[in-house]
Structure formats: C-alpha cells, structure tokens
C-alpha cells in the first residue's frame, strides 16, 4: 500500500513536470512568434525613444553597396532632375512627384556620396537592391509587380552575389508607398525565400497605414481584416521613411535653411491645400477644410492649383506665411505636405491618431513637440470651431513648437549633397541599427 502511494505520488510529480515543460515550450514558441512578427518596429514610441533621430544623426553614415541588377529589373535612365525652382532649395516636379520618387532620390544621392556609399562589398554596412528605380505612378507599379511573377524575374532578383545568412538583414528594398505592398506580393512582401524575408523594406509609410479609417479600397483597403491586423506578418521588417518633399537643401548652400526660421509671427493663421480624395472620411474632411479656407481669406494663406507645377509650388510656398498647416489624411494618413510644413517651419495640424506614428525614425521622438492634434470627428461636427482652436493656442506654445521644428527638421529633408543627419542618413543609420540588433536577439529567432 505504502509502495502504491509512493508511486502515485511520483506519478503526480511526473505529470506536473510534463505540464510545466509543455507550458514553457508553448510560451517560448509564442514569444518567438511575437518577436518574428513584431520585429524591431513594434512600438513607434518605444523605438523612437531608443533610436532617437538625434542620436542617429550624430554618427557616421553607414556605407551602402548598391547592386547592379539585371537590366530587366532596372528602368532608370539616371536623368532624374530636381524639378523646377524659383526659390533657392525649393523644387516642384512635373507629373510624378514626391509620391513615387524615393528610390530615385536615394540612388541619385548615393551615386555621388562620399559618406554613405561604397563600391567594395566587403566594407559595406548595408546592401541596396534597387528594383525598378524610376519614379512611376501606382498603376505602373502594379503592372511591374505582376510582371515580376509572370516573367520569372524573381529568380534573377534573388541571385544576389553578396547575399548570405550573415548579410541578409543588412539588405534592403525601397518601394515608394506601403500601400502598393499587397499588389507587390511575391518579391516585396511574402511568402519568399527565408533569406529574403530578412531584408528590410523601406517605404514612405509604415505599419500605421494599416490602421484606422483611411485605407482606400484600391490599396490596403483590399486586405482582409486578418491581414490588416497582422501587417508584420504580411510585410516583414517594414521601415518607414518620410516623403521626399519640395525642400531639398544642400550642405554647400550658404543661406539659413527655411526650417530654422523662428522669426516674427506669420501673416496668416493657417494654410490648406488639397483635393477631396481618398477614403470617404478623408473626402469629407478635405471638403470641410477647403470651405473653411475659402470662407476665411483673411486667415488662410492663398494656395495655387493642384494640377500644375507652378500651382503646387505656390501652395508649398504658402506654408512660409502660415502659423498652422492643415493636414487631413488622403489616400493614406501620411502626406508629403506634412514634411514640407516642417521644412518651412509651419506647425502641422493632424486629424488622425495614426498620423502621430508617421516616420518614427525621423519624427518619432519630437512629433508631439511640433504638431497640433484635432480629432477628425470633432472637426466634422463643427468645422468652424477649428478657427477658435487655432486662435486660442498661446503665443509661447507656438514659439516652442517652432523652436522644436527649427532644431530638428533637418532630419526630414533629403539633401542634394552629403549633409550629416539629413533624412537619408537617419534612414540608413536606422536600417543599420536594426540589422545589427538581430545579434542580441537572434536567440529568439527560429531559424
Ligand atoms: C511670406 O513669407 C516670405 C518668406 O518668409 C516673405 O518674404 C513674404 O513677405 C511673406 N508674405 C506675406 C504676405 O506675409
């Protein structure tokens, strides 16, 4: 009897141990999965504080090796120009603008950069895989992405001579907008070879674009609810970069850059320019703001027509004369116009919570010091209340925001020559830090 009891006692223990082991294994796997899916960019706030733009901008620029891809994968004629200008450092481009030219801008700059590029793969910190660099519209992107699969170009793309387990995380793609991701499934998103899955993917716009009320059916709105709720599984290692705005400064320029202007109060309370497009709520918001601007010509800086380069330049320059610049979401929460605001020292007014999470590497740790937030729902209820809200912001609060912009906006600007701490350098530093951080966390990774 005593023996029997002892065995039963021991058997209880064995079960206990088995259960504990199972639970631990399950927890471990879950942790692995979370880590894989969340990646480094899980929480914009925490990440931004850790990799603050200031900390990154004070360090050397990582050297990038740019692959020469098969001609079928390259469509660039290297004639990329900055566009037309009438004011130093401010450009307006004809046709395809800041919505689609990020890769072209990155390549142009790397081609002449002493600080950030190398032709020697052995000293490279990062490897750029420049697929279809030429700026192009959404429809052309979609065609290209579909052709990639059809014509067996993926085979050619993945035959990269310097791609190995140790370098995979240091490789990156650049696609203009994350909204194109679902259509470019196969090479830019997933599924894909394990080494390519480890590449970083740079776009203007990050995981915040999958949230909220502003996806349009044509792009991210097409995703199923479950895909939208797990964007990290759909697009691994997505790194968000600011739009290339119309201000392109150069280290060689002598004048003070426009973002450092903290000068006298501005002539107009606000400026707004935008066409009613995007998701339904964006259209409603934009109509209300247009009406507000038209009805208050004494308060709203006059802008130009949206369909010509001249008109767009006029709208852009209007930001110099306004204290606040209204930035409703459109096709996505991000707008190139927000970047231009900061570069002209105009305080952006944001209307969607996702907008506070835009471009975490570049803006994350100072966004709240440099913007005003007004809820879209509150605005739509009574658009006129915005005038009172803006007029009621104390002068010293405005001065503090303009000071923060003057100190930090350099990180939002893609310079035309090597300028330490500009948007390109902050981006590259962020990519290199993210790649290196796998060293400390690799025990969490399954492969
Ligand atoms: C607008 O801003 C520019 C640059 O700061 C300035 O030269 C111009 O006089 C301003 N215009 C008005 C109407 O305030």
Tokens 């090597």, residue?
Answer: 418
> Which residue, among 226, 239, 230, 228, has the nearest Cα to 188 in the 3D structure?
239
Q: What is the largest distance, in Å, between two alpha-carbon atoms of the chain?
A: 100
Higher pLDDT, 134 or 367: 367
What pLDDT does 36 receive? 40
The reply to whether 301 and 188 lie within a common domain is no
Higher pLDDT, 234 or 376: 376
Higher pLDDT, 176 or 111: 111
Considering the domain boundaries, does residue 19 fall inside one?
no
Cβ–ligand 1 distance for 267 under 6 Å, the answer: yes
Residue 447 predicted with pLDDT over 70: no
pLDDT tens-digit profile of 93-106? 766 556 678 998 99
Reported as a pLDDT band with limits 50, 70 and 90, residue 5 is low
What pLDDT does 54 receive? 57
pLDDT tens-digit profile of 377-436? 999 999 999 999 999 999 999 999 999 999 999 999 999 999 999 999 999 999 999 998
Identify the CATH number of the domain in which residue 319 sits: 3.40.50
Considering the domain boundaries, does residue 51 fall inside one?
no
The reply to whether 291 and 429 lie within a common domain is no
Ligand 1 centroid from CA 268, angstroms: 10
Higher pLDDT, 249 or 32: 249
Determine phi and psi for 84, rounding to 5 degrees: -90, 155
3-state secondary structure at position 90: strand
The reply to whether 94 and 229 lie within a common domain is yes
Q: Which atom of ligand 1 is nearest to the CA of 263?
A: 5
The reply to whether 164 and 270 lie within a common domain is no
The reply to whether 76 and 198 lie within a common domain is yes
Torsion-angle region of 324 (φ positive above 0: left; ψ -120 to 50: alpha; else: beta): beta
**18: exposed, middle or buried (Cβ count in 10 Å: 0-12, 13-18, 19+):** exposed
Residue 34 predicted with pLDDT over 60: no
Considering the domain boundaries, does residue 301 fall inside one?
yes
The reply to whether 319 and 276 lie within a common domain is yes
**Nearest-CA residue for atom 11 of ligand 1:** 321
Cβ–ligand 1 distance for 262 under 6 Å, the answer: no
Considering the domain boundaries, does residue 438 fall inside one?
yes
Ligand 1 centroid from CA 317, angstroms: 9
Considering the domain boundaries, does residue 341 fall inside one?
yes
Considering the domain boundaries, does residue 214 fall inside one?
yes
The reply to whether 262 and 237 lie within a common domain is no
The reply to whether 84 and 187 lie within a common domain is yes
Tokens 């350099």, residue?
Answer: 410
Cβ–ligand 1 distance for 314 under 6 Å, the answer: no
pLDDT tens-digit profile of 49-69? 445 555 555 678 999 999 999
The reply to whether 230 and 114 lie within a common domain is yes
Instruction: Check: CB of residue 40 under 8 Å from CB of residue 198.
Output: no
pLDDT tens-digit profile of 203-254? 998 998 888 777 766 677 778 888 888 888 889 999 999 999 989 999 989 8
CA 149 to chain CA centroid, Å, is 26
Considering the domain boundaries, does residue 439 fall inside one?
yes
Q: Whole domain around residue 433: which residue ranges? A: 60-245+424-444
The reply to whether 277 and 232 lie within a common domain is no
The reply to whether 95 and 194 lie within a common domain is yes
Considering the domain boundaries, does residue 397 fall inside one?
yes
Ligand 1 centroid from CA 338, angstroms: 20
What pLDDT does 445 receive? 39
Q: How many domains does the chain have?
A: 2
Instruction: Check: CB of residue 376 under 8 Å from CB of residue 330.
Output: no
The reply to whether 285 and 393 lie within a common domain is yes
Residue 198 predicted with pLDDT over 80: yes
- β pairing state of 84-87 and 64-66: unpaired
């Amino acid at each position: 009897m005593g023996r029997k009891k002892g065995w039963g006692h021991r058997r209880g223990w064995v079960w206990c141990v088995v259960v504990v082991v199972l639970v631990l294994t399950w927890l471990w796997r879950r942790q692995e999965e979370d880590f894989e899916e969340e990646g480094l960019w899980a929480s914009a706030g925490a990440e931004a504080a850790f990799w603050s733009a200031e900390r990154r901008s004070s360090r050397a620029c990582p050297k990038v090796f740019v692959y020469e891809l098969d001609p079928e994968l390259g469509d660039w004629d290297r004639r990329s120009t900055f566009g037309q200008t009438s004011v130093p450092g401010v450009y307006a481009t004809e046709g395809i603008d800041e919505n689609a030219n990020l890769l072209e801008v990155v390549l142009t700059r790397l081609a002449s950069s002493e600080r950030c590029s190398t032709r020697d793969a052995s000293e490279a910190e990062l490897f750029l895989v420049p697929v279809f660099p030429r700026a192009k519209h959404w429809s052309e992107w979609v065609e290209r992405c579909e052709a990639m699969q059809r014509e067996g170009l993926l085979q050619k793309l993945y035959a990269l001579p310097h791609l190995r387990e140790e370098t995979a995380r240091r490789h990156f793609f650049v696609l203009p907008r994350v909204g194109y991701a679902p259509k470019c499934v196969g090479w830019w998103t997933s599924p894909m070879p394990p080494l390519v899955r480890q590449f970083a993917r740079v776009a203007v716009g990050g995981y915040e674009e999958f949230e909220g009320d502003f996806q349009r059916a044509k792009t991210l709105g097409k995703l199923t609810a479950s895909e939208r709720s797990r964007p990290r599984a759909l697009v691994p290692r997505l790194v968000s970069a600011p739009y290339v705005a119309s201000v392109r400064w150069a280290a060689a320029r002598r004048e003070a850059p426009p973002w450092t202007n903290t000068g006298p109060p501005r002539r107009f309370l606000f400026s707004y320019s935008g066409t009613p497009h995007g998701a339904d709520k964006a259209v409603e918001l934009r109509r209300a703001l247009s009406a507000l601007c038209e009805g208050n010509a004494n308060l709203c800086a006059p802008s130009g027509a949206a369909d010509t380069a001249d008109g767009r330049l006029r709208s852009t320059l209007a930001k110099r004369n306004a204290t606040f610049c209204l930035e409703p979401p459109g096709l996505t929460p991000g707008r190139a116009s927000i970047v231009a605001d900061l570069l002209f020292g105009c305080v952006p007014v944001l209307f969607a919570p996702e907008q506070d999470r835009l471009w975490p590497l570049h803006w994350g740790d100072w966004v709240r010091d440099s913007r005003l937030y007004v809820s879209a729902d509150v605005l739509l209820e009574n658009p006129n209340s915005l005038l009172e809200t803006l007029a009621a912001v104390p002068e010293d609060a405005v001065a503090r925001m303009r000071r923060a912009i003057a100190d930090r906006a350099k990180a939002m600007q893609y310079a035309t020559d090597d300028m330490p701490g500009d948007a390109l350098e902050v981006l590259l530093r962020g990519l290199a830090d993210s790649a290196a951080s796998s060293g400390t966390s690799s025990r969490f990774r399954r492969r």
